[in-house]
């Protein structure tokens, strides 16, 4: 599938059956979605890349101040948050609401939400 190389502010993502690697800057990533043991990296305009790495491994390489796990299957880039409801949130470039899991388990997201609320 996809192989991921790491640099401080970007990934080089190799697509399945291709020798070419695509550059993905961290600030382009809207969200991550777990798909079994794979991870889908979502970019603006619905562009997506599937890695063979688990979501936790991809999240571990991203800056924690911008990327928060809000659900067992979803990580969001807080720079794309448009609105937060009790059990879901809306991101720019995303049509569907993203679920919010148990805030006790996803405490980093809960802290971000409480810190940035007026």
More confident residue, 59 or 117: 59
The answer to whether 41 and 54 have CB atoms below 8 angstroms apart is: no
- Strands 10-14 and 3-7, by their bridges, are antiparallel
pLDDT, tens digit (0-9, with 9 covering 90-100), for 33-75: 999 998 999 999 899 998 888 999 999 999 999 999 999 999 9
pTM over 0.95: no
pLDDT, tens digit (0-9, with 9 covering 90-100), for 16-33: 666 778 889 999 999 999
Which domains does the chain possess?
3-115 (2.40.50.1020)
Measure the CA–CA gap between 89 and 77, rounded to whole angstroms. Answer: 12
């Amino acid at each position: 599938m996809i192989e991921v190389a790491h640099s401080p502010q970007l990934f080089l993502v190799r697509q399945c059956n291709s020798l070419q690697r695509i550059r993905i800057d961290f600030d382009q990533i809207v969200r991550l979605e777990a798909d079994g043991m794979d991870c889908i990296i979502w970019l603006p305009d619905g562009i997506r890349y599937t890695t063979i790495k688990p979501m936790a491994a991809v999240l571990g390489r991203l800056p924690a101040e911008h990327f928060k796990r809000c659900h067992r299957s979803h990580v969001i880039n807080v720079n794309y948050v448009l609105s937060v409801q009790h059990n879901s949130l809306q991101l720019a470039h995303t049509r569907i609401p993203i679920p919010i899991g148990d805030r006790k388990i996803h405490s980093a997201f809960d802290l971000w939400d409480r810190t940035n609320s007026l």
